[in-house]
Amino acid sequence: MTGEISATTKKKTTSERGVDEYLRLLKFYYLPIFVLVIFFVIMIFGLIPSLNSIYNNYSQRNTVKKAVERQEVTIANLVQLKNDSNEINQYLESINTIAPVQVTNVTEFQESIKTLATTNGIATKQANTRELIYSEDGSQSGQVSYLQLVEVPSDFVFAGSFEDIRTFLGALYEQDEFIVIEEMSFAKPVNSSDWELSITLNKYQFQINETVLTGSDQTAQTAPNYLAEPESAKPDQNVIDFIDKKYLNKNEP
């Protein structure tokens, strides 16, 4: 028993000695250890955040640089639009002839057709107006169009000689006012010397699509948002060719 106590005391003494030795070493090396601690503090709280900041600024700079490059392309397109502005306005004027942004005076339209018929030696037997037809909007899929094309159809029945009616149809096609022959039946009735032309003529107009204006939009959005179209968007080439040919008398290449 006495031997065991003596061994424990001896062991404790050795362990205490070890602790003392460590403390002594710590005191002896406190300066290099202190410097190392500062090293790690600078690395953790100084260098790493600074490197992170460099990375973030570099990525942000690249993002902004790419955005500026895109803006330069946009500006190049816009400069081109500015150079083409006279041409664009000419086309818009012609489009206003084809389909104005206003309510078509149907009575006036019918009268002008009747006058054209009389001028070409044919009689108007009947002239009726039908309800307006709202066409599907011409916006690209997924977009809401504030501009709606409206058809104003009128039915006519004319009578006259074959040649006179053909001349009248030619005159309808040639006149500046844009009219589309939607339906036509041109026949010679039995027991009649005259030919008869039953025709549906369409006129067109643009109007603001009020169904898409809801709530606060009704006050905020009073005109079509033309700026929503990207500057790189191109007008429909068939319509442009048509305007060139019919209204601007441009020769095709």
Kindly identify the residues of this chain, within the stretch 56-85, that bind other proteins according to CB under 8 A. 57-58, 60-61, 64-65, 67-68, 71-72, 74-75, 78-79, 81-82, 85
Q: Which residues is 207 bridged to in the sheet? A: 148
Question: Please, which residues have CB within 8 angstroms of residue 204's CB and are 6 or more apart in sequence?
Answer: 98, 99, 149, 150, 151, 152, 178, 180
Cross-strand bridge partners of residue 206: 149
How many helices (DSSP H) and strands (DSSP E) are in the chain? Answer: 8, 5
Residue numbers 211-230 binding other proteins by CB under 8 A = 224-229
**9 vs 71, beta carbon nearer other proteins:** 71
The values of phi and psi at residue 234, to 5°, are -110, 140
For the bound state, the minimum distance from the C-beta of residue 237 to other proteins, rounded and expressed in Å, comes to: 8
From the CB of 118, what's the least distance to other proteins, in Å? 19
Total residue count of the chain as it appears in this document? 253
The site that binds other proteins (CB under 8 A) totals a number of residues, namely: 84
Helix 162-174 crosses helix 106-119 at what angle (to 10 degrees)?
Answer: 130
The one among 170, 211, 222, 250 contacting other proteins by CB under 8 A:
170
Which of positions 9-28 make contact with other proteins (CB under 8 A)? 28
74 half-sphere exposure, CB direction, 13 A CA radius: 9
Query: Binding to other proteins (CB under 8 A): which residues in 175-204?
Result: 178-188, 200, 202, 204
Pick the stretch among 7-15, 120-128, 140-148, 210-218 that binds other proteins (CB under 8 A): 140-148
Residue 37: exposure state from Cβ atoms within 10 A (0-12, 13-18, ≥19): exposed
134 binds other proteins, rule: CB under 8 A: no
Question: Dihedral sign, CA of 26, 31, 32, 38?
Answer: positive
Among 13, 15, 19, 32, binds other proteins (CB under 8 A): 32
Binding-residue pattern over the window 84 to 103 for other proteins, x denoting contact by CB under 8 A: -x--xx-xx--x--xx----
Q: Considering only 13-21, 115-123, 138-146, 213-221, which stretch makes contact with other proteins by CB under 8 A?
A: 138-146
Q: Where in 103-132 is the site for other proteins (CB under 8 A)?
A: none
What's the rounded Cα separation, in Å, for the pair 166 and 174?
12
